[in-house]
Structure 1
Amino acid sequence: MSRKSCFLIGHREASEKIYPALYTAIEEHIARYGVSEFMVGRYGGFDRLVVKAVKIAKQSHPEVELTLLLPYHPAERPIPVPDGFDSTYILRAWKGTRKVAIVRANRYMVDHTDFLIAYAWRPTSNARDLLEYARKRREKVSSG
């Protein structure tokens, strides 16, 4: 069985109220879809909830790994693997601002992971834009 991966993205303002649904989605992706690697950034409330949920899921599923996505190389100050993560993934070549690098890294993850779990309710946000990108990409792959 090949290794399955899942990228998670959501709003910085995510409330603890979504935690039960998020944890359930993570457990379902492990048990039903065979996901063994979860990838997430660390820029806000949603990302913190993901780390919490995956750390707890790992207690029952020790084969699961949590990877921190770094959208650009932190040349100014190298970052050790933070507590709770198994590894980091740095998107190597980036040009432009850090904001552009984050958008580019998110799209890269959609293009190179098997699943996406998104918490995107605001009509204008990077998370919502990425969800639309993923939907269009899925339609393109399905039809051609």
Structure 2
Amino acid sequence: MKNRVCTFFGHRDCPDSVKPQLRKMLVELIETQEVDTFYVGSQGKFDSLVLSVVEQLSQKYPHISYEVVLAYFPVRRKESLLPDFSHTLLPEGIEKVPPRAAISWRNQWMLRQADVVVTYVNHNWGGAAQFAALARKQGKMVRPLGKI
């Protein structure tokens, strides 16, 4: 059976109050949509919230897997979302992408892999809004958490 993949696009300044709704949505995706693979970005508060929920859910649902998809070659930094580089993925080909284009390239890669896209978008500008719109245009199942 093919893995059902979920990825995420959201604003950097996502409030903690989104976490319960996010958890409920991911449980529903696991239990009713057979999503078993999660690709999470590595920038901002939304990605951090997603990672914490997916890590918790992996304890309850041991069949699911998750990867933090990096936009840059990993460098150990204090501000990293992860204490180590377990559960990270560096997409093949990203090493040839100029740094200024790496996040967009990584997001396009994540979108190509996805069956389902969870979004947190409250305004129609910026990368999160751009990739949420692109996901809809490509016919992906889009599950919004924000206003848009």
Instruction: In structure 1, list runs of 5 or more residues that go unmatched.
Output: 140-144
Q: Letter of the aligned partner of 2:113 in structure 1?
A: H
Alignment TM-score, normalising by the size of structure 1: 0.83
Q: How far did residue 111 of structure 1 move?
A: 1.4
> Is the aligned partner of 1:28 residue 2:28?
yes
Are 1:66 and 1:86, in contact at CA under 8 Å, matched by a contact in 2? no
Match of 2:5 in 1: 5
Query: What code does the residue aligned with 1:121 have?
Result: N
Contact kept, 8 Å, 2:19 with 2:53, in 1: the verdict is yes
Separation of aligned partners in 2, 1:70 and 1:133: 20
Match of 2:139 in 1: 138
Distance 1:123 1:83 in 2: 33
The runs of 5 or more residues in structure 2 that have no matched partner are 141-148
TM-score between the two structures when normalised by the length of structure 2: 0.81
The ranges of structure 1 where at least 4 consecutive aligned residues each deviate by more than 6 angstroms after the TM superposition are none
Count how many residue pairs are aligned between Structure 1 and Structure 2: 136
> In the alignment, what sits opposite 1:100?
101
d(CA) in 2 for partners of 1:107, 1:8 = 11
Contact 1:65 1:86 in 2 (8 A): no
Q: What is the DSSP-based 3-state SS (H/G/I as helix, E as strand, rest coil) of the residue aligned with 1:130? A: helix
Q: Go from structure 1 to structure 2 and tell me whether the alpha carbon gap of 1:55 and 1:84 turns closer, same or farther (over 3 Å shift).
A: farther
Shift of 1:85: 7.8
Q: 1:14 to 1:115 in 2, by over 3 A?
A: same
In structure 1, the residue corresponding to 2:72 is in which secondary structure? coil
Contact 1:72 1:91 in 2 (8 A): no
Residue 139 of structure 2: SS of its match in structure 1? helix
Instruction: Name the SS of the counterpart of 1:138 in structure 2.
Output: coil
- Tell me the CA shift for residue 113 of structure 1: 1.7
Of all paired residues, the percent bearing the same amino acid is 27
In the alignment, the residues of structure 2 paired with residue 54 and residue 45 of structure 1 have an alpha-carbon distance, to the nearest angstrom, of: 14
- 1:1-144 equivalent positions in 2, closer than 5 A: 1-74=1-74, 77=75, 82-83=82-83, 87-94=87-94, 95-138=96-139
How far does residue 84 in structure 1 lie from its aligned partner after superposition? Answer: 9.0
CA distance in 2, matches of 1:24, 1:85: 27
